[in-house]
């Protein structure tokens, strides 16, 4: 059997939710990843040190024996410097959502006024706190990410010492933007390396492939594959794995989010093997993230094996991407 080893895999963009969902879902990521950047957009967003610490404690309690580090984030507000100094040791980044643009983002940023944002962003620059951004406008759904590019430019120019992560990029426009500014980086999901909009709604609507940002055009998929497969030094894996109960996905008003946490590494092996780039997967799924964020994750060795693996129909009432289908790689062991 063909095997492939990954050391300290990292998921640099993950949704774990809270309560029973957290308890059911967190172990699935903690099993095969050394760490993950945890999104703060709970129903009541994480905006205080107390809430942040308590949420991390709940995550650790949900996966107590898996040598897994939750890299915590705050929900962006115009925080003052004293607060950021106090919380800096507890966080890995701050996550900015445009208001109302995705799940639980109503309290996000409604105006990118540089004068209003400057005290917070300058303090973040000085303290070395990265800014992660869900980069979409409220325009036509296929154009939202491309329309956000001028905002990335505005921030990158005004705050050259601020590390800015363009989250879950989906377009050639974002790929082209990446190398225009030294302080821009990006995460890429596994589902955006596999899907175009045609896969989601080209035939019967596929609710478990519906996400925000929505999958785009074939030329966008090709652009994402080009930088991921080459393990471009400014990109890293971030699953944006987003669990919703089955009744919230298979319903009118389908919730946005693709659940990939338990199968992400298997799918990545398939993709990178298909293009004869398996040797680059380690860099994409761990090494780049360690360098960009300056983190040293818990040691974990994941051995994947080339053999059929049938994706379960559900994990605790959450339906994964490709449920019931057979993948060509499986996780053999984790040490």
Distance CA 249, CA 255 (A): 5
Distance CA 199, CA 191 (A): 11
Domain count, the chain: 1
User: Which tokens go with 293?
Assistant: 């964020």
Residue pointed to by tokens 């594959």: 225
User: Which tokens go with 150?
Assistant: 């001028």
Based on its alpha-carbon atoms, the radius of gyration of the chain, rounded to whole angstroms, reads 19
pTM for the whole structure: 0.98
Active-site residue, 240 included: yes
Distance CA 262, CA 259 (A): 8
- The active-site residue, picked from 11, 66, 220, 240, is 240
For position 65, what pLDDT does the model report? 83
Report the CATH number at residue 67. 3.20.20.140
For position 233, what pLDDT does the model report? 98
For position 1, what pLDDT does the model report? 72
| Cross-strand partners of 333 | 303
User: Which tokens go with 244?
Assistant: 């919703």
User: Which tokens go with 123?
Assistant: 């303090």
Instruction: Kindly report, residue by residue over 276-327, the tens digit of the pLDDT.
Output: 999 999 999 999 999 999 999 989 999 999 999 999 999 999 999 999 999 9
For position 329, what pLDDT does the model report? 98
* Regions of the chain short of the pLDDT cut 70: none
Kindly give the pairing relationship between strand 235-237 and strand 301-305: unpaired
The whole domain housing 52 covers 3-334
């Amino acid at each position: 059997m063909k095997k492939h080893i990954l050391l300290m895999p990292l998921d640099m963009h993950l949704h774990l939710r809270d309560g029973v969902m957290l308890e059911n879902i967190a172990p699935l990521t903690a099993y095969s990843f050394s760490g993950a950047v945890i999104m703060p957009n709970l129903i009541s967003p994480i905006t205080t040190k107390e809430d942040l610490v308590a949420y991390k404690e709940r995550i650790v309690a949900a996966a107590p024996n898996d040598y897994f580090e939750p890299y915590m984030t705050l929900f962006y507000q115009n925080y003052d410097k004293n607060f950021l100094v106090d919380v800096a040791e507890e966080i890995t980044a701050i996550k900015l959502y445009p208001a109302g643009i995705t799940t639980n983002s109503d309290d996000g940023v409604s105006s990118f006024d540089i004068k209003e944002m400057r005290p917070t962003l300058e303090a973040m620059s000085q303290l070395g706190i990265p800014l992660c951004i869900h980069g979409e406008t409220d325009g036509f759904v296929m154009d939202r990410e491309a329309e956000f590019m001028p905002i990335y430019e505005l921030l990158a120019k005004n705050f050259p010492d601020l590390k800015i992560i363009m989250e879950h990029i989906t377009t050639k426009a974002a790929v082209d933007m990446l190398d225009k500014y030294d302080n821009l980086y990006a995460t890429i999901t596994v589902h955006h390396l596999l899907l175009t909009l045609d896969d989601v709604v080209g035939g019967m609507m596929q609710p478990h492939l519906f996400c925000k940002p929505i999958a785009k055009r074939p030329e966008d998929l090709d652009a994402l594959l080009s930088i991921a497969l080459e393990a471009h030094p400014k990109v890293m894996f971030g699953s944006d794995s987003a669990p919703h109960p089955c009744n919230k996905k298979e319903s009118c008003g389908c919730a946005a989010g693709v659940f990939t946490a338990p199968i992400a590494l298997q799918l990545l092996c398939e993709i990178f093997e298909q293009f004869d780039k398996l040797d680059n997967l380690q860099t994409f799924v761990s090494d780049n993230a360690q360098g960009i964020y300056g983190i040293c994750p818990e040691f974990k060795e994941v051995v994947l094996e080339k053999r059929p693996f049938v994706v379960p129909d559900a994990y605790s009432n959450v339906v994964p991407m490709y449920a019931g289908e057979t993948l060509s790689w499986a996780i053999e062991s984790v040490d």
